Structure 1
């Protein structure tokens, strides 16, 4: 009678274990679940007059006092309250025109979850309540103002010069990795 040879299962088990470790590492990198428990608070001051370039000096004489009132440092062009979408989100949004004519989006009292690849988007999409509003903001015109600086606090996002703020009707805290809104605000203009 011949001996039956058993195949070793060690290489197969080692291969499966390696595949599981690689898949777990990739899933952790992609979802970053620890970010949900890490808060990053940013407290930026209201934007003021533009400072002189570094190293430069202003040798012009000071202007004579004027009887006309000075232009305000910033004017609110549009504003709105953030509503929750994929994650609980609150705070206010103000679109400001600065004295030099540039525009800044200001988030005040922001409170949302942290997450991977969060962006601040100006969009032309309508703000919808609930799940209906989670995925609409990348359907139309949108302009990314950059990465969300922190998931809590007050922060400013300067609009690039080529961006016309009149084209946009809403702001979204957008998770670019999963194409979903964490929260959004309809921007209403004063009458």
Structure 2
């Protein structure tokens, strides 16, 4: 009995304990399970859209002046394609819009996004077809894709600029992609408007 107790207090026991602690630490870092209970909401306005909430100014006579004409749709942001997010690895919903801004640049806009938080989430513009269920979880890195950056928040409305050298007509879908585990949290097929 004394030998067994002595064996677990020696160098072998310390080595096992260090290995267990290191393994648990790595597992926590890799999976980041606490993110499942942490939501990050980001609310961004669409670039180039000016929200005017001020009342119309009064004319010199004291009468309200005529409202100015709204900007022409041809000069403001134009939605080129849109789609609804479907769930893959995690429940995901919201709308995706591909928008051309007045200066000719493009942004991908996520509106009313609601998904789980997770490690290393990215927004990808891809050429892969969107498939329902588990068949669609891993297809987005099979073909052509462009990472538009880290997901800013797992809830809200956000904008992601397309690099100037990316032709958006070559891509037909969007994925909220977990780069760490190579899996889609959710995706949307982009239908031309």
Q: TM-score range, shorter-chain basis?
A: 0.7 to 0.9
Residue aligning to 1:13: 13
Residue aligning to 1:113: 116
Structure 1 residue ranges (4+ consecutive) displaced by more than 2 angstroms after TM superposition = 5-8, 69-72
TM-score (norm 1): 0.84
Aligned partner of residue 45 in structure 1, secondary structure: coil
> Matches of residues 29-108 of structure 1 in structure 2 within 5 Å?
29-48=29-48, 69=72, 71-108=74-111
Q: Deviations over 1:93-117 (max 9, x none)?
A: 0000011110000000000000000
Report deviation, 1:72.
3.3
Looking at structure 2, the residues matched to 71 and 128 of structure 1 have their Cα atoms a distance apart, in angstroms, of 34
Q: Deviations over 1:105-138 (max 9, x none)?
A: 0000000000000000000000000000000000
Looking at structure 1, the residues matched to 3 and 48 of structure 2 have their Cα atoms a distance apart, in angstroms, of 78
Looking at structure 2, the residues matched to 70 and 124 of structure 1 have their Cα atoms a distance apart, in angstroms, of 28
Report deviation, 1:45.
0.6
Q: Deviations over 1:37-62 (max 9, x none)?
A: 0000000011117xxxxxxxxxxxxx
Unaligned runs of 5+ in 2: 50-71
Q: Deviations over 1:2-21 (max 9, x none)?
A: xxx95841221111111000
**RMSD in angstroms over aligned alpha carbons?**
1.7
Aligned partner of residue 79 in structure 2, secondary structure: strand
The count of residues paired between Structure 1 and Structure 2 equals 168
Residue aligning to 1:65: none
Pair 1:185-2:185 in alignment: no
1:134 to 132, 137, 153: 137
Looking at structure 1, the residues matched to 181 and 33 of structure 2 have their Cα atoms a distance apart, in angstroms, of 13
Looking at structure 2, the residues matched to 137 and 18 of structure 1 have their Cα atoms a distance apart, in angstroms, of 39
TM-score (norm 2): 0.84
Q: Deviations over 1:47-93 (max 9, x none)?
A: 117xxxxxxxxxxxxxxxxxxx5733111100000000000000000
Looking at structure 1, the residues matched to 176 and 15 of structure 2 have their Cα atoms a distance apart, in angstroms, of 41
